Amino acid sequence: MPGKVLTKNSRRKDGKLHYLNTTPDNKNANQILDSALETNNLYKIGLAVHAFADTYAHQNFVGYFEGYNHLGGVLQKSPAKVGHASATHKPDIPNLIWEDERLCSFNCKRNNKEIFLKAAGRIFEKLKLYNNSQISTQKLKSEKEELLSDLSAAIGETTEKYSFFSNLFDKKDKNLRIKNYRKLSQQKQYGGTRVEKYNKYQWLDRVLANPGKILWF
């Protein structure tokens, strides 16, 4: 989701700017999420929340084939210039600390855990105020701090170790985080119902089982 063209965290060694650069918590993402919340449509809200979260995780990348995205290396002439593909999975791993070599030295270190927790805090604020616009500032702050503490524990310790192939095939750390998230979901303050395991084919199974009952939004 494109945001403000020039921000401190987007400053690069080569001085390049891009009018479609993704920046955290930007005005466009906020407007889209606010509009989605007004519809009360869970599908639209889900899409908007995902896009909002990605303004943090995918910051400093452009969402199409663009040399601005390139981090260097053997992927220079590949489709890796699309989005954050040149950085492989690094921007999406919750506990990873990595370096975006395009950026200036003062902001090239990317601590995903810190970034993701900031995103979670902002999303919580948006959704909480949507459900209870009369909540006090103190209570909102208290509940957010509790959530971020729980999420921090669920994500676990940070690491700078990364291997593309290990991340692709070794799912031990990822599965542990998911287990921790699902355990959190059983707590009363988070709904009290264990989140089901994700099945990427579930939507297709439902469509094939009831082709005449597709829910359009």
Q: Is the pTM of this model over 0.85?
A: yes
What is the helix (H) or strand (E) element at residue 114, kind and residue range? helix 112-131
Query: What pLDDT score does 187 carry?
Result: 95
The yes-or-no verdict on residue 73 having pLDDT over 90 is no
Return the percentage of the chain with pLDDT > 70, whole number: 93
CB atoms within 10 A of CB 77: 8
pLDDT by residue (tens digit) across 78-132? 666 789 988 999 999 999 999 999 999 999 999 999 999 999 999 999 999 999 9
Residue 76: its pLDDT value, please? 53
Q: Are 24 and 9 in contact (CB under 8 A)?
A: yes
As a whole number of Å, the end-to-end CA separation of the chain is 21
Following CA atoms 93, 130, 148, 22 in sequence, which dihedral angle do they give, to the nearest 10 degrees? 30
> What are the tokens at 134?
């009369």
Can you tell me whether residue 187 is helix, strand or coil?
A: coil
